[in-house]
């Protein structure tokens, strides 16, 4: 199973959307500063995730959540 996830910076209130296979490992990477975009905005908290069957589905969902309609959907939920 693959995950599409949304995390929020506790200090900066910014949102990051991504996809991965191992969510716990990925969260540790974000909070350890090992990811280029997220390292300067630590710590991060998981606010939403979905499980999908394939990497392709997870990427498609990630791209949707990054779109205008997807951001609006996240703001409303």
pLDDT by 10-residue block (mean), the chain, 77 residues: 97 95 96 92 96 97 97 91
What is the structure's pLDDT at 77? Answer: 81
Distance CA 62, CA 49 (A): 10
Q: How much is the pLDDT for 11?
A: 92
| CATH level 2 (architecture), domain 2-76 | 3-Layer(aba) Sandwich (3.40)
| pTM of the entire predicted model | 0.92
Q: What is the DSSP letter of 56?
A: H
What's phi and psi for 24, nearest 5 deg? -60, -45
Taking the domains of the chain in order of start, what are their residue ranges?
Answer: 2-76
Residue 4: the pLDDT is 98
Residue 22 has a pLDDT of: 97
């Amino acid at each position: 199973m693959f995950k599409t996830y949304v995390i929020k910076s506790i200090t900066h209130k910014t949102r990051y959307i991504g996809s991965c296979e191992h969510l716990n490992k990925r969260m540790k990477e974000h909070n350890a500063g090992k990811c280029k975009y997220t390292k300067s905005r630590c710590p991060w908290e998981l606010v939403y995730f979905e499980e999908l069957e394939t990497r392709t589905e997870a990427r498609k969902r990630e791209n949707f959540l990054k779109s205008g309609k997807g951001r609006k959907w996240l703001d409303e939920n």
